[in-house]
Amino acid sequence: MSDLFVELTAPNGRKYSQPRGLFINNEFVKSKSGETITSINPSDESEIASVYAAGPEDVDDAVAAARKAFKDPSWRDMDSTARGELLYRFAELIEKNKEVLATIETWDNGKPYSVSLNDDLTEVTGTIKYYAGWANKIHGQVIETSPAKLAYTIREPVGVCGQIIPWNFPLAMAAWKLGPALCTGNTVVLKAAEQTPLSILYLGTLVKEAGFPPGVINLLNGEGRKAGAALAQHLGVDKIAFTGSTATGKEIMKMAAVNMKNITLETGGKSPLLVFDDADLDQAVKWAHIGIMYNQGQVCTATSRILVQDGLYDKFVAAFKEHVSKASVVGDPFKDDSFQGPQVTKTQFDRVLSYIESGKSEGATLVAGGEAYKNVGGKGFFVSPTIFTDVKDNMRIYREEVFGPFVVISSFKTEDEAIERANDTTYGLGAAVFTQNISKAHRLARLIEAGMVWINSSNDSDNRIPFGGVKQSGIGRELGEAGLEAYTNKKVVPPTCSRELYLAVAN
């Protein structure tokens, strides 16, 4: 076998062939420079494999392949029902290979295997199937402008779409972007996060097996500052979709402006979770735990600021601390009882620990965690679930996104105070409200400045529902029917006059 593939055995004993190359034009190829990046197992800090890293020249090749495929009749003129069937076949292949994909995701990323298999892969296949169903239901409209005239609109694909995905949900974020782009007839150059490239490369083998024409889907590895930047500013790319940090999103906006690309950005968050005195305490505690500790806290919509009304504050803190101690089992992500695995990289591990020190130095009260977790073989990037109380609004740990198993809890007195403090942030991705007064919940949901407000739950999303934020949490929406808007242009064919009507008007 060529050095474009390597035979690997994962910690759970599963053997498979891992692609190492860049997936361009339905083939795995080496990078022009020969440069590689190494994927690290965050559970024990060992090397898994090295893969080829794209540079600007490789991005050029991928974009050229995507442009050629976009113009080729085999894709451009494909019947929309056939396109939907192709996407459905892709989803079925993902389902067939879900154990391998889940294994790679856990090995490369550190999330529990149960999450990779039951949550992430279910979301991947569900999202691709959802958009497969949309493929033959995208249409324009006829607009009557007078009794003698009519116009019509056509929904056309945008063109070549650059897509840059994050490391926290590699396969799921790829599905969120591939689904709507492909069902509307676009072609794609997708760059995986440099920290977690392996599952996306394996996906390339299924792209070819599903029967997509060459160049329709191209998958690149590479550093953001090289491959990502080259993709964002490429003149041959018509659209950029990005999920990641707000700081990087701002840079991508600047680079995409070179040819005024269509952009979709889903960036950072510091989402509030409001618990009122009349809330169901058990439910509030359960969902607050899921809202921040799921996926090692590495969730853009994590409800990482918990605001609890005075009358329930002490009871909530005690119950939440106890629930976290029992539910957040930290351990080997391949073990069935592990709820929390390691942070994805040493950089992220160090970042979380630095915020712990910041919280201590600023005077917040540490009630749980606050240290590296060393009971998983002594290695790996594990952090104990961390809870700070008595947190003030001006503290860094209250205002800045930590992206780890790290939550701050503060009290409030009135509804007005809760809303004012919930909105006192540069972010606006998600929020949650806990109260048994549903009228109050819906009223408050309108007042909170966020793209999504959950009522008596947290991070309870669905691929049929639009996802996105306001303020510095992003631009545009993904998922649901709304996710199609970003991948189509509306062309207008105005009223056409008959010769008789033209002469009548002219005279």
- The predicted-structure confidence for 376-428, as pLDDT tens digits, reads as follows 989 999 999 999 999 999 999 999 999 999 999 999 999 999 999 999 999 99
Segment 253-269 shows an average pLDDT of 97
Interval 191-220: pLDDT, tens: 999 999 999 999 999 999 999 999 999 999
Segment 68-77 shows an average pLDDT of 98
Q: Which of 138-142, 184-188, 271-275, 492-496 has the lowest mean pLDDT?
A: 492-496
pLDDT of residue 148: 80
Paired tokens of 386: 């961390």
Paired tokens of 60: 């050029």
Q: Token match 């009349």: residue?
A: 278
Q: Does domain 272-455 have CATH number 3.40.309.10?
A: yes
pLDDT of residue 499: 56
Contact between residue 13 and residue 35 where contact means Cβ atoms under 8 Å apart: no
HSE-up of residue 161 (Cα within 13 Å, Cβ side):
30
> Is residue 497 pLDDT above 90, yes or no?
no
Interval 6-47: pLDDT, tens: 999 999 999 999 999 999 999 999 999 999 999 999 999 999
Q: Does domain 5-39+47-267+473-491 have CATH number 3.40.1190.20?
A: no
Average predicted confidence (pLDDT) for the chain: 96
Q: Cα–Cα distance between 437 and 420 in angstroms, integer?
A: 20
HSE-up of residue 300 (Cα within 13 Å, Cβ side):
28
- pLDDT band for position 496 (50/70/90)? low
Q: Cα–Cα distance between 409 and 71 in angstroms, integer?
A: 54
The DSSP line for 96-131 is HTHHHHHHHHHHHH---HHHIIIIIHHHHHHHHHHH
The CA-CA-CA angle for residues 112, 36, 181, to 5°, reads 65
pLDDT of residue 502: 52
From first CA to last CA, the distance across the chain in angstroms is 77
Residue 48 three-state SS: strand
Q: Which residues pair with 142 in a beta bridge?
A: 152
CA dihedral in degrees (218, 465, 90, 214; nearest 10)?
-30
The percent of residues in the chain predicted with pLDDT above 90, rounded, is: 95
> Is residue 95 pLDDT above 70, yes or no?
yes
pLDDT of residue 495: 76
Contact between residue 256 and residue 289 where contact means Cβ atoms under 8 Å apart: no
Paired tokens of 333: 């992500």
Q: Cα–Cα distance between 140 and 154 in angstroms, integer?
A: 5
Residue 260 three-state SS: coil
Give Cβ neighbours of residue 349 (< 8 Å, ≥ 6 apart).
42, 342, 343, 372, 381, 382, 383
Segment 328-353 shows an average pLDDT of 98
pLDDT of residue 150: 87
Q: Token match 């390597």: residue?
A: 6
Q: Which residues pair with 143 in a beta bridge?
A: 151
Interval 148-169: pLDDT, tens: 888 999 999 999 999 999 999 9
Closest CA to 478 of 266, 185, 163: 266
pLDDT of residue 2: 77
Q: Cα–Cα distance between 178 and 23 in angstroms, integer?
A: 15
Segment 309-324 shows an average pLDDT of 98
For the chain, the structural domain boundaries read 5-39+47-267+473-491, 272-455
Any idea which residues carry the catalytic annotation?
Answer: 266
Segment 133-139 shows an average pLDDT of 97
Q: Token match 């440099």: residue?
A: 194
Q: Cα–Cα distance between 236 and 452 in angstroms, integer?
A: 34
- pLDDT band for position 146 (50/70/90)? confident
Closest CA to 125 of 101, 94, 150: 94
Contact between residue 63 and residue 69 where contact means Cβ atoms under 8 Å apart: no
Q: Cα–Cα distance between 422 and 2 in angstroms, integer?
A: 55
Amino acid at 187: T
The pTM (predicted TM-score) of the whole model is: 0.96
Residue 451 DSSP code: S
Q: Cα–Cα distance between 386 and 398 in angstroms, integer?
A: 13
